[in-house]
Structure 1
């Protein structure tokens, strides 16, 4: 009988491998933060349903305050859950999400942070060999203990006045200490002592990130959507500086927001390229980035990659053109050879006929017979 522990280890290894593949696909196509969680019995304790996140992940990407975040399954259904920043874990609403999706011990979740307060969740089943991946189709929900999807919490139906849903014995009503104050979601909230636009070292997480242009803070959702701001934050963090800090004076907030949107879109579009044949936009992107650079935007690192990609694309184009030329020459040579083969076949048929006529006693063979039979 096979060792059950070995079998379990093999299953866990398979689940982790599939989850890692999904994570790799997401990083290649999107670039937003991802986190893999393998579900254990502690995630389903009757008195304390919870999902623990990585403290390092939360330190980089999550708000330093108790917040409601959304878990959206592959079917597009969203669940509001409570995120507790001190514990780096999710509680209220997690039970409903887990029950709706029929999660069990051994399943794996790939949490994809698509916006500051929203995870897209990809599920890898412990007891299923079905391949799950980015855009590989939706996974059908399973039911637990005879319950159906009615446990799903519709976002628009949640009427929680306190901003956090009650969950079992969690006491979420206590007043937060002063450390929570910088997690305010107010549109016009400022950090105590606003971070200077050249002091990126003080930005430890997304909520610390302010875009200041010519003394004005750009925080209007209509000018710069939150997801774009989040991606721009990641772009700035990769360079350890505010990319817009060198912009010329006098540029309006709308112009700056548009430039940031364009730079972010180009940067992520570059990362999404999967073939040199998709490089038709490189020249357009380079012209835009050069214009932004002339206005003081720090986009040199993007231009460097763009030029390298353009060089590689040119090499691929030249090689492709050379191969096409060689193929056409080979095809022409083949046509000539086929024509010669056709003529040779015709000649073979003629010769075959002449040989057959000789074998039949006609032609020159009749002369031979006539001469042989002539009287002396």
Structure 2
């Protein structure tokens, strides 16, 4: 006959609470460990990143296939260098004048610029080209040879970078020849000098005439004072003389 103790099932011994908590914590840590990825997904991520970067760059780029003959107006005119838009680097006034220069030659003057030039430098080259074109339009026979030389030197520098400014340099050369090296230039300069001297002399005459009017006005004021004070002055002088000549 089995005893009462043998009929009872043995219960497992319970672990202390702090040990149970430590075991559960370790179990959760093992479950939360990241699973290392294999090679191909990482490569795929890198490729995706490159694709996104390429798309962003393409968003800033415009096609270089545009021919100047396709440009119908200023609204169609964009300044592209290495496929990137340069319009924001220039004022509307400079862009408009540059467009007119390009129209005169039927081509983009910057299309043969050396690749890789800094955008600020390119904007400076275009601006200088426009400024010198304006200066050429405003020059005359009194413009000094030194000024012509400075303009040509600046254009030569632009040309070294690939800017199409040969037509401006040719115009400068012809103007210098007409202003300083052609027949009749001596008489023309004498004429200009005489005309300038005439203007200067005329201005001096006007100044003298104005001064003469001031002197005449002053003369009239003095005459009026003399007429109004003459009798009183003579009377006073007479009294003075009477006192001088009175008997002792």
TM interval, short-chain normalised:
0.3 to 0.5
Structure with greater helix percent: 2
TM-score by length of 1: 0.32
TM-score by length of 2: 0.48
Larger relative contact order (CA 8 Å, sep ≥ 6) = 1
**Larger-gyration structure (1/2):** 2
